[in-house]
Amino acid sequence: MSSGGHGRIPQEVVEEIISRNDIVSVVGQYVQFTKSSGHNMFGLCPFHSEDTPSFSVSTTADKQIFYCFGCHKGGDVVKFIQEIEHLSYVEALRLLAERAGVKIPETNDPKYQKEEYLRKRVYEVLKAAAVYYYKSYMSEKGEAARAYLQKRAISNVTATNFGLGYAPDEWNGLYRFLTDRKFTKEEIVASGLFSTKNGRIFDLFRGRLMFPIFDSMGKIIAFGGRIIGDGQPKYVNSPESVVFSKQRNLYGLNFAKQSKPKQIIVVEGYMDVISMHQAGVTNAVASLGTALTERQLDLLERYCEEVVLFYDSDRAGQNAALRGLKMLMDRKKKHTAMTTQIRVARVPNGKDPDEFIREYGKEEFAKVVDQAMPVLDYLVDSAHKQSLVDGKFDPIKFQQLVSTYLSWETNEILRERAAYQAAQILGVSTASVMAETKRKTEISKEENTVRIKREEQKQAELTTQKQPGETATRDELVLLCLLASLGQNYPAFVSRFKEEPLVTDFTMGSMRTIVSEILPDLKAGKLNGRRLVEAGENLILNQRPASSTLSEALVSVQYGEGLDSLMLYTINYLYRVRTDVYTRQKKALAKRLDVMPEGPDRTATQEALKKTIEYLKYLKGKIGKL
Ligand SMILES: [Zn+2]
């Protein structure tokens, strides 16, 4: 993944994306910088829990590197996004491209073009399938489906708007429909609407009411099917495919975004969304059969200022709610720039939003939305409800739950406010609730630390078999960083000192691999910190990933102010590193001579030793002059 193209994205576009995403502003969306020192800014690490900032970002244009002195994570802006958003390299680049408004062109990579073509065809398959389901729905076969929707009070207009259809109870009706339209077997199977058994292909959905699932741009990417009448499972979604990822989409968002709402309501089911839209509540979406994911929240943040979550009031729904809320609060810690407000609502009397809105209408529903609680209030309320056993309040259970929930919140003020509410319920002082919460926070911090230690140990075990070719001296690392800082001034450096670093100046193994990788960039005056770290990709250096070791060196190196100072430091370190190499060589030759019998080999070795000693003297003289 070092030099050359990056699979699907041409190298020059990669460079443009990176240069338009200043690492300080990107990282600043997740980390609050609290102090600066030299060219580095420091803040609390988003990757491990700590009380004093050891996470640093090097602000100069030539470096653009982050490094944590606590957990040793480090790298460039793409690596940071990969780590914090759990994305692949290409996905992280795409996110940064979007952030900076860089257009990624179609590439000529035949593999990519083939995949693009398949995606295009799958969209067409899905569109054709929607036509097939719609025709079936309107035909005689669809009578039961139409009756079902009538029973749920869904009008024809609404059904058509949402593209509802019907999959007849047949084994291969859709398959025949698509092969007649000249889709290939590969395209048909890739749509996710089929199952294969013993090489034969069957329609996945049979005897179900069909809901096309659209992406936010309104393209069909999948289908959900609801059984008509009894039977299990009630709802089935088509599986993830080349065009469908359920974590990244929300049902109904393409409709909801049209009115540019300030607020978006998230419910659990398709039918809820459809009923709500029909009743005039057009800002409703549904997560796709899972609790809300981080990606879905990203999506929502792009379209609104406030999210109101509805969870089913059954036990499974409530557990999903708690898991989802924990995710939200963790995310809030990570994304310090998150501005979207989140509240949680509950439909009275254990009803679905769908039932409620049909019975009481839009105005009553709006009141329920208005009463939605901030996340922490909801958690206190939920702890209270969970602590009622057969109508009797269990204070022990309540205080245990509530102190756990409050420990999820990092904002002291919000925490104290919620502690006050909990204290009212318990009939104790706010201070004692806060004290218990603090204890819980410490425990969870401790657990976190133990977990990180364990991971570090594992990592260390993986890398402790110290490979002879995987070490670097401090001076070598400093030299590389100085060279990276020289960048376009490198040719001036060479003409001033008449010296250039050579591959042989560096320790054999990883270091030499890195140096030979960066030499062309260096000579072209194009080396910078990021490229240096990139050259260490997949290598080990000093028992850590080389990218981490190099990042640490980059944020640590100081060379005074100005180009002159930088050049003097660089030449100085070059001589020091070279002196090291020749000193080691001198020792090795001397050792060999000790056990060598007389003969031509011995004479040659003696000669080599003499030359080495002379060169060392020369270097010493040079260093002395600086
Ligand atoms: Zn860290």
* Digit-coded pLDDT (tens) for 129-180: 999 999 999 999 999 999 999 998 999 999 999 999 999 999 999 999 999 9
**Predicted TM-score (pTM) of this structure:** 0.61
Expressed in angstroms and rounded, the spacing between residue 91 Cα and the centre of ligand 1 is 23
DSSP 107-174: ---HHHHHHHHHHHHHHHHHHHHHHHHHHHHHSGGGHHHHHHHHHTT--HHHHHHTT-EEE-S-SSHH
Expressed in angstroms and rounded, the spacing between residue 71 Cα and the centre of ligand 1 is 4
**What tokens appear for 124 in the block?**
């067409």
Expressed in angstroms and rounded, the spacing between residue 334 Cα and the centre of ligand 1 is 12
pLDDT of res. 140: 95
Under 8 Å between Cβ of 207 and 168: yes
The span from the CA of 197 to the CA of 579, in Å, is: 70
The span from the CA of 412 to the CA of 226, in Å, is: 46
- Between the alpha carbon of residue 272 and those of residues 254, 318, 355, the distances in Å are 16, 17, 8
Expressed in angstroms and rounded, the spacing between residue 248 Cα and the centre of ligand 1 is 28
Tell me which architecture the domain covering 474-625 has in CATH.
Orthogonal Bundle (1.10)
The span from the CA of 559 to the CA of 485, in Å, is: 10
The span from the CA of 301 to the CA of 285, in Å, is: 13
Expressed in angstroms and rounded, the spacing between residue 72 Cα and the centre of ligand 1 is 6
Running DSSP on this structure, what letter comes out for residue 530? Answer: H
The span from the CA of 623 to the CA of 617, in Å, is: 10
The span from the CA of 560 to the CA of 534, in Å, is: 26
**What tokens appear for 418 in the block?**
């919620």
Expressed in angstroms and rounded, the spacing between residue 337 Cα and the centre of ligand 1 is 19
Expressed in angstroms and rounded, the spacing between residue 3 Cα and the centre of ligand 1 is 28
Alpha helices, DSSP H, located in 465-594: 474-486, 490-497, 510-523, 529-535, 546-556, 563-594
**What tokens appear for 397 in the block?**
């259970």
The span from the CA of 418 to the CA of 412, in Å, is: 10
pLDDT of res. 5: 41
Expressed in angstroms and rounded, the spacing between residue 21 Cα and the centre of ligand 1 is 22
Residue 97 CB coordination number (10 Å)? 20
pLDDT of res. 6: 46
Residue 281 CB coordination number (10 Å)? 21
375: CB partners within 8 A, 6+ apart: 325, 328, 329, 342, 343, 344
pLDDT of res. 448: 66
Q: Taking Cα atoms as reference points, which of 583, 578, 586, 616 lies closest to residue 499?
A: 578
DSSP 68-118: ETTT--EE-HHHHHHHHHT--HHHHHHHHHHHHTPPPPP---HHHHHHHHH
pLDDT of res. 431: 86
Compute φ and ψ for 558, nearest 5 degrees.
Answer: -120, 140
Expressed in angstroms and rounded, the spacing between residue 106 Cα and the centre of ligand 1 is 37
Expressed in angstroms and rounded, the spacing between residue 551 Cα and the centre of ligand 1 is 13
CATH of domain 112-244: 3.90.980.10
- Between the alpha carbon of residue 546 and those of residues 182, 533, 538, 541, 562, the distances in Å are 52, 8, 7, 5, 28
Name residues of the chain where pLDDT drops below 70: 1-8, 106-108, 290, 313, 333-339, 448-449, 451-468, 626
Expressed in angstroms and rounded, the spacing between residue 53 Cα and the centre of ligand 1 is 9
Expressed in angstroms and rounded, the spacing between residue 400 Cα and the centre of ligand 1 is 30
The span from the CA of 496 to the CA of 480, in Å, is: 19
542: CB partners within 8 A, 6+ apart: 470, 471, 472, 549
Expressed in angstroms and rounded, the spacing between residue 67 Cα and the centre of ligand 1 is 8
- Between the alpha carbon of residue 453 and those of residues 95, 275, 424, 468, 524, the distances in Å are 31, 51, 39, 26, 42
Expressed in angstroms and rounded, the spacing between residue 452 Cα and the centre of ligand 1 is 10
Domains of the chain, by residue range, sit at: 11-100, 112-244, 247-371, 382-464, 474-625
- Between the alpha carbon of residue 242 and those of residues 1, 131, 183, 221, 238, the distances in Å are 24, 21, 16, 9, 12
Expressed in angstroms and rounded, the spacing between residue 544 Cα and the centre of ligand 1 is 14
Expressed in angstroms and rounded, the spacing between residue 70 Cα and the centre of ligand 1 is 5
Expressed in angstroms and rounded, the spacing between residue 599 Cα and the centre of ligand 1 is 59
pLDDT of res. 538: 82
Expressed in angstroms and rounded, the spacing between residue 43 Cα and the centre of ligand 1 is 10
Expressed in angstroms and rounded, the spacing between residue 615 Cα and the centre of ligand 1 is 44
Expressed in angstroms and rounded, the spacing between residue 210 Cα and the centre of ligand 1 is 48
What residue type is assigned to position 23 of the chain? I
- What is the topology classification, in CATH, of domain 11-100? DNA Primase; Chain A (3.90.580)
Expressed in angstroms and rounded, the spacing between residue 548 Cα and the centre of ligand 1 is 11
- What is the topology classification, in CATH, of domain 247-371? Dna Topoisomerase Vi A Subunit; Chain: A, domain 2 (3.40.1360)
186: CB partners within 8 A, 6+ apart: 118
Expressed in angstroms and rounded, the spacing between residue 302 Cα and the centre of ligand 1 is 28
